[in-house]
Structure 1
Amino acid sequence: MRKGLVILLAVIMTVLPAGTALAAEDTPAAGTQDAGTVLAIDNENLYPGMDQPYSSGYMPAVAGGSASIVLPLVPAQELQGGSINITVDLGDASSSPFVFQNYDKTVGLKEHMVNNGAGRAKACLVELNLPLAEGRLSGRYPVTVSVQGQVQGGAQFTQAFTLYVTVTDGIDPNAPAAQDPGDADAPAGGTGGGGGAGGGEAKPKPKVMLGGYSVNPSPVLAGQEFGLSVTLQNTSDSQPIKNMKVTVSGETADIIPMGETNSFYFKKVAKQESAAIDTRLMVQQTAEPKPQKILLHVEYEGDGGTEVTSDESIVIQVKQPVRIEYDEPEIPQEVNAGDTMSVSMNVMNMGKGTVYNVRAEVEAPGLVPEGSLFLGNLESGAAKKGDLYVFVSTLDSSGADAKYGYTNGKMTLSYEDEFGEVSTQEFDFSTNINPPVINAPQEEEEEEKPETQSQWWISVLILGAVIGGILGIRYALKRRKQKAEDNEDV
């Protein structure tokens, strides 16, 4: 029975939505006969180029200016031609860190060495090497691998597997903007006049630049306020600036000011001096978890009342709060040693962002789980359910009295946000381990045997009595007939 449950668990893990770093989504091709879900990610085996299997948390590697992706796909149906076609979507070209080129290819179904040469597995092994662009920003970026193919019989299928690549060697989106080296300013243009004097020499305009900023907290949580401190510096070494007005706003409606005003006035900023602004803003609850811009519009005057305007921007990272809820698993109060019990877990993502690598584990003396329950990624508003199989052993093998009794344990649910930060929730439980139940079918048969034998002898006696009665009647009739014949002769 335990072997059958292990096989059932493997089947369940195969059909769950795929991947540690991926969220698999099936999208049938329009206008064709849909073959259903054909491909699933091989969660258990370690393929070349992977540091760990998907069930243990595989993530694409980033090194040497490129990202490497290994995606083993196992077909549940026979593929026509023994191959699939893939296309790669790298997202928005204006913000993606990847070099855009043609990554489409055909991938065949072949046997591959797995688990560091300890075994072989048959799969369509998608291997991608994505060069990273210069000037890229650090962050987490989606890569969608779309698969098209046919199964035997001609039915077509299309599936999409989205995974996330974490880039850490790029430009920090929260770093202060680099200052322009040097202090040379453009000429004001035109010549000054007055009082009949001839043309005067044009003076350079003073320049205001972002000297630095800080965001607290960072990353900024959607739906909450945050503080912003900004320093604006007069880079001129010869002129002050006057009547400086600074307006702070969000690039989109996702960021709104929370102070009494979002405009700040400074009567004068001396040469090589700076002005500081402290304000509070808020990110809307519905904001997407991605980098967002804060805009600074600066208006000021130089010598002679020359009006100058400039614009600066600050990039902040917005994250959505993680809201994971689950149905409390039901664990029996009484179990028997030698049994295998199933623990169901239903997890729901109530937040606005995606959570990654959702898994559950059981720890308790005397309980031996057959692995961890891996549910993969959960999109906003999605729910997934799975079963974790646990073998009931004994508490201690040193003595008969210590083998059975109550055991206390915990079930741990863990998951990651879009920044890779791991969160956990724990559920405590207790159960009583009883001795194994041993059935005795032979004793029951022996108890039933005398009753069966008794019923057989009764049947024989009844049959003998019936036969004896028939013979007696026939003998009596025969004697009567013989007597009548003797009387006739006399």
Structure 2
Amino acid sequence: MRPFKKIAGIAMSLALTAAMILPAGVRAEDTATDAPKIVISVGDEQKTPEFKADETKDLEISLKNQGIADAVKVRIAPVIEDANTWPFVVEDMNYERTVETITAGNEVMVKWEGLAVRPEVESKYYKLPFKITYEDGEGKQFQLDRYVFVKAVAADKPEEKPEEPKPEENGEPEGGEAGFSNSDPVVSGGGGGSESGKDAVPRVIVTGFNTDPGAVNAGSDFKLIIHLKNTSTKTAVSNMLFDLQAPSSGTEAAAEAPAFLPSSGSSSIYLDYIPAGGTQDISIALNARADLVQKPYSIAMTMKYEDSNATQYESSSSLAIPVKQAARFEFSELEIAPEAVAVGEEANITCSLYNTGRIKLYNVKAKFQGDGIEGKDVFVGNVDSGATGSIDGIVTATQEMAPDQKCKMIVSYEDESGKASTVEKEFSLTITPEQAPMDMSQMVDMPAEKGFPVLPVVIGAVVVVAAIVILIIVLKRRKKKKESVEEEDLLDEVDRFTEDE
């Protein structure tokens, strides 16, 4: 009897194990079936809404079902982890919105009414994360994490009226261009007198000037060439001495230094002779100070000369030389949020532009280019010298892109003369394939991994063991029955034998 009990116990254990495995196999097979094709997109073809500080405005977001099955019990709620990253005043305990059904191919608008914009918002794009849950009509629940961007505009600050710059000594030509002026000569002494008449007084004037190179940049050397003419038709002039003096200018720390310094150390020029009615050129090598602002600077030139009777004359002229400042600026590190996006999602790119030069940058604009992105131009405006401009743009991922592929930000600007220039800065953005929605039902019942077919083997083993057990039971019953019959026959024989006696 003991072997029979052991075999029966083993058979019962195997049968129980098979019963436990069989339902699990059925659940795994059910879960492995294809999930309903529901694709929920957020904010498709919507323009980025703009919210101004202290105003109250509605926020509308579109939800579109791009799949082939209906989405039911759709719920969308903002994820507010930090109130400082949320541009609106948090007034309600719950901002969740519910949509009963979004049929396949259709779109619904979800509205948050009367959102009050915080008065201290900055002028930038704010990323608003949302959590979306929905069901497929068969009891399965799905969850999505999506985000949209809104543009906030800070409150206007009162503009400070800049102080009017003090005019340089001798002034500067109107319109900020090059120019010159002349004064009448006066007799300073010497000689035995001159011929009577107006034409007898020789007058030397400046008829113009040019520089080599043509544009004088702050901090550079240049050659100043001055064109002279003796206006007298009868009297020649000689023994001419010219002295050039630039007024003090520049930054406050170096305001006592002249705007232009002679490269040779001397500001005087000597010219031997100009005939009556004749012309001559004089030149001097100068250096423009590096800290000069972009505008014309005047140079006062005094002249001393004599006529044929050794009569000495003095005169003066003034020249205005425009100085150019090269644009100099730097970018901060680009901040990309998030650093990796899926196709169809948006990323926010921000950085600061520091105008480290001495000229104002006009009409500053930025745009983003790359094989897998597209975005609108960002207009920054004018950036004063020493000021900071903010670049805040949105790009949309259009196709998959590897991390080693580079995108670029192109910044364009104009100087005071309207000359346009551009500069580029590269950045990286990882773009992954479009994400499928998360099936929350699969988080509970995970499908079994495919491998060795355990279930059929176990079932086969149970069947074989059960057959063996049944066979043993039948044989034992037959044996027992046979022994019982033999015992009864023996008893009958004994009874008959007893009766015969």
* TM-score of the two chains, using structure 2 as the length reference: 0.50
1:193 offset after TM fit, Å?
8.0
My pick for the range that moved more, 437-446 or 201-210, is 437-446
Instruction: Say whether residues 1:138 and 2:138 are aligned partners.
Output: no
Counterpart check, 1:266 vs 2:302: no
Q: Percent identity?
A: 27
Question: Displacement of 1:187 after TM fit?
Answer: 11
Which residue is equivalent to 1:350? 356
1:418 equivalent among 390, 395, 416: 416
- Counterpart among 434, 441, 444 of residue 442 in structure 2: 444
Deviation at 1:238, TM superposition (A): 0.6
1:473-484 pair list within 5 angstroms? none
Aligned mates of 1:244, 1:284 — CA distance in 2: 29
Q: 1:406–1:433: 8 Å Cα contact kept in structure 2?
A: no
User: Conserved in 1, the CA contact under 8 Å of 2:342 and 2:397?
Assistant: yes
> Measured at CA, do residues 313 and 14 of structure 1 come closer, stay the same or move farther in structure 2, by a change above 3 Å?
farther
Q: How far off its partner does 1:221 sit?
A: 1.4
Distance (whole Å) between structure 1 residues aligned to residue 369 and residue 289 of structure 2? 40
Residue 283 of structure 2: aligned partner: 278
> 1 CA distance for matches of 2:159 and 2:432?
54
Q: 2:178 maps to what in 1? A: 174
Q: 1:211 aligns with which of 207, 211, 222?
A: 207
Q: Which moved more, 1:342-351 or 1:435-444?
A: 435-444
Work out whether 1:288 is the aligned partner of 2:293.
yes
Query: What CA deviation, in whole Å up to 9, does each residue of 1:214-249 have, x standing for no partner?
Result: 112343211222211112111111111121101122
Partner residue, 2:332: 327
1:362 equivalent in structure 2: 368
Bigger radius of gyration among the two: 2
1:447 Cα shift?
3.0
Find 1:236's aligned residue among 232, 239, 245: 232
Name the SS for the 2:445 alignment partner: helix
TM-aligned CA deviation for residue 284 of structure 1: 1.5
CA shift digits 1:136-185 (9 cap, x unpaired) = 8335xxxxxxxxxxxxxxxxxxxxxxxxxxxxxxxxx22566x99xxxx9
The CA distance in 1 between the partners of 2:212 and 2:50, in whole Å, is 46
Which segments of 5 or more consecutive residues in structure 1 lack a partner in the other structure? 16-35, 41-73, 78-84, 96-134, 140-172, 396-402, 449-490
Shift of 1:207: 0.6
Bigger drift between 315-324 and 236-245 goes to 315-324
For the residues of structure 2 that align with 1:205 and 1:304, how far apart are their CA atoms?
Answer: 11
User: Counterparts of 1:258 and 1:279 in 2: how far apart (Å)?
Assistant: 8
Deviates more, 1:86-95 or 1:428-437: 86-95
- Report the CA distance between 1:347 and its aligned residue: 1.3
The secondary structure found in structure 1 opposite 2:393 is strand
More contact order relative to length (CA 8 Å, sep ≥ 6)? 2
Aligned residues: 300
Preserved contact between residue 186 and residue 204 of structure 1 (Cα < 8 Å): no
Provide structure 2 residue ranges, at least 5 long, that are not aligned to the other structure.
1-40, 56-118, 124-152, 249-257, 447-501
Listed one character per residue, the Cα deviations across residues 91-125 of structure 1 (whole Å, up to 9, x for unaligned) are: 57989xxxxxxxxxxxxxxxxxxxxxxxxxxxxxx
1:337-486 matches, cutoff 5 A:
337-369=343-375, 371-394=376-399, 408-444=406-442, 447=445
Instruction: Check conservation: 1:407, 1:433, Cα contact below 8 A.
Output: no
- CA 1:200/1:215 → structure 2, altered by over 3 Å: closer, same or farther? closer
One-letter amino acid matched to 2:207: G
Query: Which whole-Å CA distance do the structure 2 matches of 1:257 and 1:421 have between them?
Result: 30
Report if the CA contact (8 A) 2:269-2:284 is conserved.
no
Q: Which residue of 2 aligns with 1:58?
A: none
For residues 349-383 of structure 1, the C-alpha deviation after alignment (integer angstroms, 9 at most, x for no partner) is 112232222222101123121x2233322233322
- What's the CA shift for 1:298? 0.6
Aligned partner of residue 353 in structure 1, secondary structure: coil
TM-score by length of 1: 0.51
Q: CA RMSD in A?
A: 4.7
Kept in 2, the 8 Å contact 1:249–1:257? The answer is no
Q: Distance in 1 between matches of 2:310 and 2:385?
A: 54
Corresponding residue SS for 2:418: coil
Q: In 2, Cα distance between the equivalents of 1:345 and 1:86?
A: 24
Q: In the alignment, what sits opposite 1:54?
A: none
